[in-house]
């Protein structure tokens, strides 16, 4: 199921976005706008850098560990997260447990 989720995500976004694969710690930077970043290693920290308003990036955890974000990500209902697991535990429209679309609105990071 994890592989199917990754394949479907890539098919949906690949015609519009670049894909960057990382195996360790990385920074989400301006060049990642509207792109996909896939973690394929073990535990990693993703630094959410200073970017412009309306910046978006899709993060997929296809590795063996957990991605830790350097800042809290607001996901709605007054809740924030700072980690992304490596398994599709829950599937909702536009969101799978190991995939998140991050949007920076000029003041906070939001996850969908």
CA nearest to 37, candidates 3, 80, 67, 1: 67
Domain that holds residue 73: 2-111
What is the pLDDT at residue 97? 73
Distance CA 43, CA 63 (A): 8
Q: Bigger pLDDT: 11 or 74?
A: 74
Per-residue pLDDT of 83-106, as tens digits, reads 998 877 665 555 567 999 999 999
Q: Give the global pTM.
A: 0.81
Question: What domain count does the chain have?
Answer: 1
Angle among Cα 106, 108, 112 to the nearest 5 degrees reads 105
Q: What is the DSSP letter of 65?
A: S
What is the pLDDT at residue 74? 96
């Amino acid at each position: 199921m994890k592989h199917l989720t990754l394949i479907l995500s890539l098919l949906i976004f690949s015609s519009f976005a670049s894909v960057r694969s990382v195996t360790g710690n990385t920074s989400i930077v301006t060049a990642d706008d509207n792109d996909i970043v896939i973690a394929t290693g073990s535990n990693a920290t993703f630094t959410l850098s200073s970017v412009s308003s309306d910046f978006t990036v899709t993060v997929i955890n296809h590795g063996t560990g957990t991605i830790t974000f350097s800042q809290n990500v607001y996901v709605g209902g007054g809740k924030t997260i700072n980690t992304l697991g490596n398994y599709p535990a829950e599937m909702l429209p536009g969101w799978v447990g190991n995939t998140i679309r991050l949007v920076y609105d000029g003041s906070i990071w939001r996850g969908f």
